[in-house]
Amino acid sequence: MSGVLLLSIQALIYFGVMTALLAARKSYGVGLFVCALGVMHFLETYLAAVFFIELPFGLLSPGSTVLFSGKLMMFLLLYIREDAEVVRQPIYGLLIGNILLVVLALVLRFQTAVKMPGYAPDLAFLDQIGILMVWGTLLLFVDCIALIMLYERMARLLKRNVLASAFVASAVVLTFDQLMFYPVLNWVTGTPFSALLGGWVAKMGAAAVYSALVALYLSFGEPAPSKRRSLADIFQALTYRNRYEDLLARSLVDEVTGVKNRAAFEQTCREWLERKSPDGRPITVAMADVDRFKAINDQYGHAAGDAVLRAVGLTLARHVRDGDTVFRYGGEEFAILLRGLDHPEALEIADRLRVAVATEVQPLDGRPVTVSVGVASSAYGAGDLRGLLDKADKRLYDAKRLGRNRVVGETAPA
């Protein structure tokens, strides 16, 4: 039986079993599919290192041609049927698992093995496989992300033609993988150069076969859902960048009030100072302080105090313009950053915020909740927001001294 026919049979068996597990995820979960991918990883690496066949165009390994190329296409198919958040889990899991394999193999060096009759552990071979598995997994990590990104790019250019998009993307990625994997394979096992060309030709054939199978599966099995996410969004999801940005965003939000916190204000101050040049727009910092807040805490308790702060923060955020920002600066103080207003306009906005708090925040036993506000403005977009904050803070204390529930600004722009 010819080598090409055997490779084709292996590819059909592999694709059939893996897509059956993929389809079964609706009943049994995606774990069956992911575990099968992980188990096959050792076999494909082992075969890629030691098992080759010869065809007219050169040497090739079924492990690399059928199993590795197939695994890459399975990741693409999982992405197409699910999303980037699902497919990234086995990608990172394989990477971590294979690094763990090498670490544990190194620890074995410190143990004394009992010699068994007729068999001795080949730790040198384990080292070779470990090197190839880790390098192969690192390449797989890059390959999967590149394949998905290239597929999405080609799908946009080729009007969602699955067959053409999958083939172009997989051909490019498998070419890259062959060029990157062969030098390490040659260094570890001494594999001859003919395996580089033979393996590449075989992988191009695998790209064509698997792309056709993927297109058939999506046509007659599970249709490909339409995806409208941007390429940047997909890349961020695949690399967990979105998780980092979500975590960063949450870290800059005050838990009690739901507005930005002091850390966010400090970050804004740094960004403002690092600007190459002022933007020319006026900038205003307003400091709002809840009047007699200590008495609220003392009389009604801290839970009621937190509820008042939350209501005040949300009211301020609801009534600022788009592009303006409310921060909880500390305690019962809020800093409000207003852009593009001259000083009289900023005072009008600040007074509107004061009135909104007095009328919309629920009174406590008939006594309205009010704020005092100090305002400081810069006519040319000054870089030092902390300087404006200090001036606004002084005007805030003037408002307190003059009877509270009022707005006091600089007599002239800062």
User: Rounded to whole angstroms, what are the CA distances from 269 to 337, 384, 389?
Assistant: 11, 7, 10
pLDDT, position 380: 65
N-to-C CA span, the chain? 88
Domain assignments of the chain as residue spans, ordered by start: 3-112+120-244, 252-409
Neighbours of 103 (CB within 10 A): 10
- What is the rounded distance in angstroms from the CA atom of residue 188 to the CA atom of residue 185? 5
Return the CATH architecture of domain 252-409. Answer: 2-Layer Sandwich (3.30)
Q: How far is CA 221 from the centre of its chain?
A: 30
- φ/ψ (deg, to 5) at 257: -100, -20
Q: What is the separation of C-alpha 385 from the centre of its chain, rounded to a whole number of angstroms?
A: 31
233 vs 246: CA distance, rounded Å: 13
Buried/exposed 361-372: b ≥16 CB within 10 Å, e otherwise: beebeeeebbbb
Residues acting as catalytic residues: 332
Backbone angles phi, psi at 339, to 5 degrees: -120, 145
State the residue for tokens 């009621």.
304
Crossing angle of the two packed helices 194-220 and 69-81, in degrees rounded to 10: 30
DSSP string for residues in 93-122: HHHHHHHHHHHHHHHHTTS-PPPBTTB---
Extract the tokens encoding 332: 């019962």
Helix (H) or strand (E) holding 145: helix 123-157
Instruction: Report CA-CA distances (Å) from 402 to 7, 46, 372, 374, 407.
Output: 88, 82, 10, 12, 10
Predicted pLDDT of residue 414 = 47
pLDDT in tens, the chain (414 residues): 577 888 899 999 999 999 999 998 888 888 888 888 888 877 888 788 788 888 888 888 888 899 999 999 999 999 998 888 888 888 888 888 878 877 887 787 777 777 777 777 777 777 777 788 778 888 888 999 999 999 999 998 998 899 999 999 999 999 999 999 999 888 888 888 888 999 999 999 999 999 999 999 999 888 877 666 777 777 777 776 655 555 555 677 888 888 988 888 888 887 776 555 556 678 899 999 999 998 888 888 888 899 999 999 999 999 999 889 999 998 999 999 998 888 889 999 999 999 999 999 988 877 899 999 999 988 665 566 788 888 999 999 999 999 999 999 875 454
- Burial (CB < 10 A; 0-12, 13-18, 19+), residue 271, is exposed
